[in-house]
Amino acid sequence: MSDSRLLAVWKRVFGLAWPVMAEQTFRTAMRTTDIIVTATISPVAVAAIGLADLYARFPLWIGLGTGGGAIALSSQDTGSGADANRDQAISIALLLGALLGIPFVVFGLLFGRQAIAILGAPADVADLGGLYLAVIFATAPARHVALIAARSLQGTGDTRTPMYVNVVANALNIGGSVVLGLGLFGTAGMELFGVGITGVVGVGIATSAANVVTAVALLGALRTNYTDAWLVRPTDPIVAKQLVVVSAPSVAEGLASTLAEFPLNSILLGFGTEVNAAFQIGRRLYQQVTGPLSRGYNVAASVVVGQALGEGDPEKARFEGWGTVALGLATVGVVGLLLVVVAEPFVNLFTTDSETASYAVDFARVYGLTAAFLVTFSILQGALRGASETRMPFYARTSGLFGFMVGFTYLVGVVMDYGVVAAYAGIGLSYVWMAAIVALSFWRSDWASRAASMMQERGSTVE
């Protein structure tokens, strides 16, 4: 790679990525605040939102997956100057996301408590978790719209508008969680429809309110001259079909990763409660220090590859994809190695139990050692998405999670009785496998022709 050309790619990628990183940092801070507030309330409150959040990942992944289709089409059509098709793709994706959110509203209202109870939760946890789930699922359509609108705008190259909106919304969410969660400023004892609005329910209300604020603000931006994109009446069946074709594997990928959490956590619990707790701590520590960077590069890779293909320049798309990988290795890869060195003092901030801490340090070091592979997967997943190729990342993640993280851990750790060592190996091998599959796909598969064919079909090809 030419040094000057590579530096130009890095400059552009980081310019696109840093607003996503900032947005993700605030989102992480919001989730951390929710945990702190509920921990102040009671252990039952922590368990209630923890179990409910397992279900909350389903609408999250649907929104992200549909948003993945939107960012693919909007980036390509922005590059080719096909503004009408871009606006169709964004509008159709938003409508689809809103409709897909409705079943979650019904599910939360009718089956929230049963969904928590089926996980083995005690009655008090099921009652509280069911209420929380009903509250946050009530705004699932808004959550989908917010996620899809953000990614649609990011596909046009505008990563700042979603950042501004999400930073404000997450700040309001943090404030709302503290005030309503702890019953401050006279909110204690207040009710809505006969249900108190403080405590765990208050934390849920703050989250739901932030979902609505984010969706309304981003829709407002799309209905004004503030952004290049514009909401239109969805009428193009070809764009709609392509959006579903590109989005479906991304949605399936996210849902599969959520489903894999259940058997994995069961296996780790079999090794001991301390092992399961250590896994959560080790993963959270890794995500805290590298998650915003990886998410930013993932989105930026989709944008630069998609827009290059829209311009009719697959060689540029390929170069910028690999250039983004190089930036990820130089940053996230190095941070991962540093985590290996400093894992112990950081883990001690999360727990005082010596046995849990010992396992957590090992899990954190596994994540640190495999950081280069995980960021490679994340970036090339985004790059392939920008080329409308979402099938290979789905195959890579699903086979990696169930084949190694779950399957290998169970076979070697449980059947062959090697214990937690198998979990360390299974996690590491899964990320190596995932990175290898997407790297081979980006290097050898004909994703550029696939993207060109789809653009031609919807009339977005550069003349």
Residue 80 sits in the same domain as residue 107? yes
Asked if residues 301 and 382 have their Cβ atoms less than 8 Å apart, the reply is yes
Would you state the pLDDT for residue 273? 79
Question: Residue for token digits 């507030």?
Answer: 37
Residue 349 sits in the same domain as residue 408? yes
Residue 209 sits in the same domain as residue 263? no
Name the domain count of the chain: 2
Would you state the pLDDT for residue 272? 87
Written as one string, the DSSP assignment of 135-202 is HHHTTHHHHHHHHHHHHHHHHTT--HHHHHHHHHHHHHHHHHHHHHHHTTTTTTT-EETTEE-STHHH
Q: Element (H or E) spanning 227, and its range?
A: none
In a domain, 240, yes or no: no
Would you state the pLDDT for residue 356? 85
In a domain, 142, yes or no: yes
Written as one string, the DSSP assignment of 356-414 is HHHHHHHHHHHHHHTHHHHHHHHHHHHHHHHTT--HHHHHHHHHHIIIIIIIIIIIIII
Which 3 state secondary structure label does DSSP give 120?
coil
Residue 109 sits in the same domain as residue 141? yes
Which 3 state secondary structure label does DSSP give 102?
helix
Amino acid in position 276: N
pLDDT in tens, the chain (463 residues): 567 899 999 999 999 999 999 988 888 778 778 777 887 888 788 788 878 888 888 999 999 999 999 999 999 999 999 999 999 999 999 999 999 999 999 999 999 999 988 877 788 888 988 999 999 999 999 999 999 999 999 999 999 999 999 999 999 999 998 898 888 877 777 766 667 777 888 999 999 999 999 999 999 999 988 888 889 999 999 999 999 999 999 999 999 998 898 899 889 888 987 888 888 888 888 888 888 999 999 999 999 999 999 999 999 999 999 999 999 999 999 999 999 999 999 888 777 788 888 998 999 999 999 999 999 999 999 999 999 999 999 999 999 999 999 999 999 999 999 999 999 999 999 999 999 999 999 999 999 999 999 999 998 875 5
- What is the span of the domain harbouring residue 158? 1-235
Residue 360 sits in the same domain as residue 308? yes
Asked if residues 203 and 186 have their Cβ atoms less than 8 Å apart, the reply is no
Residue 125 sits in the same domain as residue 50? yes
In a domain, 463, yes or no: yes
Domain boundary among 182, 212, 235: 235
Written as one string, the DSSP assignment of 424-451 is HHHHHHHHHHHHHHHHHHHHHS-HHHHH
Residue 258 sits in the same domain as residue 216? no
Q: Element (H or E) spanning 274, and its range?
A: helix 273-310
Residue 269 sits in the same domain as residue 229? no
Residue 210 sits in the same domain as residue 287? no
Amino acid in position 98: A
Would you state the pLDDT for residue 2? 67
In a domain, 241, yes or no: no
- pLDDT, tens digit (0-9, with 9 covering 90-100), for 264-298: 988 988 898 788 888 888 888 888 888 899 999 99
